[in-house]
Amino acid sequence: MERDTDRYRSLTRRALMLGGMQVGLLSTLVARMYYLQVLESDRYTVLADENRINMRLLAPSRGQVLDRFGVPLAVNQQNFRVVMVSEQARKIDRMLSLISEIVPLTEADWRRITREIQRKRAFVPVTVKENLTWDQVTMIEVNAPDLPGVSIEVGELRSYPYEAATAHFLGYVGAVSESELNGDPVLALPGFRIGKSGMEKFHDASLRGVAGTSQLEVNAVGRVIRELSRQEGKPGRDITLTVDIGLQQYAQDRLKEEKSAAAVVMDVHTGGIYSMASNPSYDPNLFTTGINAETWEDLLSDPTTPLTNKVVAGQYAPGSTFKMLVALAALDSGIVGPRHTVFCPGHMDLGDHRFHCWKKGGHGTLDLVGALKHSCDTFFYDLARRIGIDRIHDMAKRFGMGQRTQLDLPSERPGLIPSREWKQANLGKSWTQGESLIAAIGQGYVLATPLQLAVMLSRLVNGGFAVKPHLTKQIERGPAEQTAWPSLGVNKTHLDMVLQGMNAVMNQPGGTAYKMRIAEAGFEMGGKTGTSQVRRITMAERSTGVLKNEQLPWRQRDHALFVGFAPLHAPRYACAVIVEHGGGGSAVAAPIARDILLEVQRRDSARGVPQVSSAVPAAEPVQPAPGDKPGRIGG
């Protein structure tokens, strides 16, 4: 028993020591817990959050573009794509062949899908095919039980319901290129598209919107478990244009009869562009889904430049449509009085050079109105000889020529109004008087875009106010259209004389466009024809007789131009038309302008759109010109 007592004491002592060691070791655990969970807790909390939280950007919905009456021109269509999660689909090949019975898959699709499946993790959806039709979507949904792991995802695709009719001013959207990445993370989103041209480009910042974010909880292998929080982005703002899509379609269709042509209609008071048509055009939807190289090459190499918006980027010698400005410059200078007359024998000699009028036999004696009516070149040669290029240059500049009109559309070109300084600076030669004569009939160095012609005409007929053109009516509830334009300070009676001339062109027998007049009461128009030479007519050719346009190859034929306004007595609409290599302005361009002007008036009166803007003083009615007595004007 003695023995056991010793042993027991020893055991107890040792047991207590062992217990002490255990307490010590357990304390180590508590200390470690304290270190990890108290001292280092913040660090590990960050690490844990980094582990589990994955931020994703939510692409904002792109704003719509609407026409002046709210008709959508650029919309977002739901874009359905079929995706497959390979881990759920299991037998990939079988699944793909099942899908291909509904959505045809090409050889290349198969290769791409198999490659993507190998690259991605098994739970990451792989896009099988994009741009599904609604039928295909329903077929897939109906067959869902047989297609495990296959599902439909909805995205947005920019769509232009009016296709070619709106391509030139709306532009299109496309994938973001390397150089366009500016650090905005939304641009880096797969499939994100930005405005590449036209209004889509000009208003891209407004249309784009603000990306939302989604905080996703992901597990160790990156599979999304749930959404922790979601901050919705702001959809892009809608943009309302001044364009009337009905008129636009009409104009575009009307131009299709010509090989290459452009037409623009603007409000002479507000500057709003109602229609801007350029033919040929292209389908902007092709660019959204990705254009193929062949189509792109075709568009680029086409001599009729379908990718160019000729209204703003086509620069043409304005021809006789320029004569109004020369007339104004002359009257304004005071050198030439309103009763100034010129005898036209069919040409004018300056030095040893002979300048020909378009009418070989001559017009006889004409005053200013008559000269505009008949578009007599000699009369304007005479004016140019008297006033010189500087006055013409100044007046043209005041009316918006030779400079960008500051239209809210990219790719506008400035045209050209030559001056002494310009020639010296650019050609290193001094100006010659002969060049002034050529410039006076809108030839030579003078270049204008159809838009500039429309602006020029608008300023002529709105009473001499410096209206500027624009396409954007409103950005959502943003600033509305501006209407109070500064005055150009042009003498009203001089303007009236010019208007009388343009009235006579259309509405007097013998006027160059008399055949193209609008007879419908209240819708009458005024205008001016223009035919601009593309090639140089040699003395030799002139002696043997100038070749008719029909005898020439297309590229050498004259451009046909026309500027017109309506209604005659309270001008509201200005229209400029160019038919590239179309021949005579009166025969080719005038009827187009007439049809468009008639269309816009009919459309607006049918809609009850007020015909005179109260915010802007209207141009004085052209001298009493009852439709039945046109003879009194410009006689």
Phi, psi of 231, deg, nearest 5: -110, 110
Which H helix or E strand runs over 304?
A: none
Minimum CB separation of residue 18 from another protein in Å reads 6
Return the residue of 14, 111, 120, 492 that touches another protein, per CB under 8 A.
Answer: 14
Q: Out of 20, 28, 97, 480, point to the residue binding another protein (CB under 8 A).
A: 28
229 is a contact residue toward another protein (CB under 8 A)? no
577 - beta bridge partners?
Answer: 263, 562
The span from the CA of 404 to the CA of 240, in Å, is 23
Smallest gap from Cβ 213 to another protein, in A, equals 19
Measured from the CB atom, is 31 or 547 closer to another protein? 31
The SS3 assignment for 539 reads helix
Shortest gap between Cβ of 50 and another protein (angstroms)? Answer: 9
Query: What is the per-residue binding string for another protein in 173-212, x denoting contact by CB under 8 A?
Result: ----------------------------------------
By the rule CB under 8 A, 227 interacts with another protein = no
> Which one from 278, 320, 458, 586 is the annotated catalytic residue?
320
Q: What is the DSSP letter of 583?
A: -
Residue 31 — left, alpha, or beta (φ > 0 → left; ψ -120 to 50 → alpha)? alpha
Q: Is the peptide bond before 567 cis (omega within 30 degrees of 0)?
A: yes
SS3 173: strand
Cα distances (angstroms) measured from residue 269 to each of 253, 466, 595: 26, 9, 21
Instruction: Pick from 20, 40, 87, 421 the residue near another protein by CB under 8 A.
Output: 40
Residue from 34, 69, 343, 554 touching another protein (CB under 8 A): that is 34
Closest Cα to residue 389, out of 319, 439, 336?
Answer: 439
Do residues 530 and 317 make contact, with C-beta atoms less than 8 angstroms apart?
no
Please identify, among the stretches 11-19, 156-164, 395-403, 537-545, the one whose residues bind another protein according to the rule CB under 8 A.
11-19
Among positions 55, 142, 225, 537, the unique one binding another protein when judged by CB under 8 A:
225
Residue 234 lies near another protein (rule: CB under 8 A) = no
Task: List the one residue from 154, 221, 521, 539 that touches another protein (CB under 8 A).
Answer: 221
The total of other beta-carbon atoms located within 10 Å of residue 156's CB is 16
Q: Residues 50 to 109: which contact another protein by CB under 8 A?
A: 51-52
Structural contact between residues 98 and 146, judged by C-beta atoms closer than 8 angstroms: yes
Q: Establish if 519 lies at the interface with another protein (CB under 8 A).
A: no
Supply the minimum distance, in Å, between the C-beta of residue 229 and another protein.
Answer: 14
CA distances from 473 to 177, 243, 274, 469 (A): 30, 8, 10, 11
Residue 10 touching another protein (CB under 8 A): yes
Does the protein bind another protein through residue 220 (CB under 8 A)?
Answer: yes
Asked if residue 4 binds another protein (CB under 8 A), the reply is yes
Q: Where are the beta strands (DSSP E) in 59-200?
A: 65-66, 72-85, 125-129, 150-159, 173-175, 193-195
If one asks whether residue 44 binds another protein (CB under 8 A), the answer comes out as: yes
Of 20, 37, 354, 493, the residue at the interface with another protein (CB under 8 A) is 37
| Contacts for 600 with CB less than 8 Å, ≥ 6 apart | 244, 247, 265, 274, 275, 566, 573, 575
Is 320 an annotated catalytic residue?
A: yes
**Site for another protein contains 11 (CB under 8 A):** yes
Question: Encoding tokens for residue 408?
Answer: 């809210």
C-beta of 40 vs 541, nearer to another protein: 40
Could you tell me the smallest distance in angstroms from the CB atom of residue 190 to another protein? 25
Query: How many residues lie near another protein (CB under 8 A)?
Result: 42
In the complex with another protein, which residue's Cβ is closer, 216 or 409?
216
Bridge partner residues of 470 (DSSP): 272
CB 489 within 8 A of CB 463: no
- Tokens coding 337: 């009085």
By beta-carbon proximity to another protein, the closer residue of 6 and 180 is 6
| Residue 41 in the binding site for another protein (CB under 8 A) | yes
In the complex, what is the shortest distance from the CB of residue 117 to another protein, in angstroms, rounded to a whole number?
Answer: 23
Binding footprint of another protein on the chain (CB under 8 A): 3-4, 6-8, 10-12, 14-15, 17-19, 22-23, 25-26, 28-30, 32-34, 36-38, 40-41, 43-45, 47-49, 51-52, 217-221, 225
Mind telling me the catalytic residues? Answer: 320
